[in-house]
Structure 1
């Protein structure tokens, strides 16, 4: 008799972490890292308070942008609008009907 294995039903759902799903988890982590790097560089070069403001602005802005893009869906693609007519640039070849006789 064949062995029976339990099937994990959650495999067909996207990964979710703190409200972010799938690829948007990486977008959120990227905005966090970008905010930390930009804030630390600004703190070192300009001022501690300006650097903290840059850090908070980039992190909060990136997370809000990521959350707004997530509302479109995981597979958000642009939908073409309008009618597109592609010109036909094929030459008529009359080679297939003829056979060369020797």
Structure 2
């Protein structure tokens, strides 16, 4: 933390990337969504089929969501599709 001119501590932001329980950065919102969807699945399945089916549906959706997040996370926080090859763009400038 840095000090300003009057001697008050000034928070300059995070020095390390944000991480919670092994889930990093933008994947935290996806993890929260996966847990939320699993909870809604529990409610729907427990109403329709019973509490045991709701519990199983909740576990399955939460585990599948978190496994997908861990797999995507291995690609990196800024994983983008990279096309290989040569691309030729014609007529980028309009002749007026």
The interval holding the TM-score normalised by the smaller chain is 0.7 to 0.9
User: Structure 2: which 5+ residue stretches go unaligned?
Assistant: none
Q: Which residue, 15, 23, 29 being the options, matches 2:32?
A: 29
Cα separation, partners in 2 of 1:79 and 1:49, compared to 1, 3 Å: same
Once superposed, what is the RMSD of the aligned Cα atoms? Answer: 2.4
User: Structure 1: which 5+ residue stretches go unaligned?
Assistant: 94-102
Match status 1:17 vs 2:16: no
Cα separation, partners in 2 of 1:45 and 1:85, compared to 1, 3 Å: same
- Tell me the TM-score normalised to structure 2 length: 0.77
Length, aligned pairs only: 92
Paired position in structure 1 for 2:44 = 41
Q: Where do residues 10-89 of structure 1 align in structure 2 (5 Å cutoff)?
A: 11-88=14-91
- Structure with greater strand percent: 2
- Tell me the TM-score normalised to structure 1 length: 0.73
Partners of 2:39 and 2:65 in 1: CA distance? 12
1:90 deviates by 5.3
Cα separation, partners in 2 of 1:83 and 1:49, compared to 1, 3 Å: same
Partners of 2:12 and 2:95 in 1: CA distance? 55
Q: Stretches of 4+ moved more than 6 A in 1?
A: 4-10
